[in-house]
Amino acid sequence: MALVPYEEVNQRSFEEESARRFTLVQVAKGTAELRGPCPRCGTAIQIPLVSGTYKSFRLWRRNGVRPTPPPGEVHEETVICTCEEDHPGRPEGKIGCGAYWCLEITTS
């Protein structure tokens, strides 16, 4: 399978797809990890979210069905693809395919 070329892009569909397919896993007290497939290149990636002050995290997506967030504070987390594949055209020292998007996370 040919790899998509490296490109720093953001598409609305990335946010929708990752909100549907990513899970937020509590890995330790105050530390959670976003896990799921990159909506651009499809590689499973893990994004650590570190915070000593939040007790719990919840991945949440504003949409037509759920226009208001669950109780708690909503944070926007920018997620950048961190895959280790060799995407053509990737600048030296960079990782991922270049895709980035935003997820909304509620914390309490």
Cα dist from 57 to 13, 31, 86, 107, whole Å:
23, 9, 32, 5
Site for Zn ion, residues 4 to 63, rule: CB under 5 A: 38, 40-41, 43
Q: How far is the CB of 25 from Zn ion (least distance, A)?
A: 19
Question: Of 32, 59, 97, 105, which lies in the binding site for Zn ion, with binding defined by CB under 5 A?
Answer: 97
Nearer to Zn ion by C-beta: 54 or 98? 98
Contacts of 41 (CB under 8 A, 6+ apart): 3, 4, 81, 83, 85, 87, 97, 99
Q: How far is the CB of 43 from Zn ion (least distance, A)?
A: 4
105 is an interface residue for Zn ion by CB under 5 A: no
Nearer to Zn ion by C-beta: 69 or 85? 85
- Indicate the pairing of strand 73-80 with strand 100-107: antiparallel
Residue 2 backbone class (left: φ over 0; alpha: ψ -120 to 50; beta: rest): beta
Q: Residues in contact with Zn ion, total (CB under 5 A)?
A: 9
Chain positions contacting Zn ion, by CB under 5 A: 38, 40-41, 43, 81, 83, 85, 97, 99
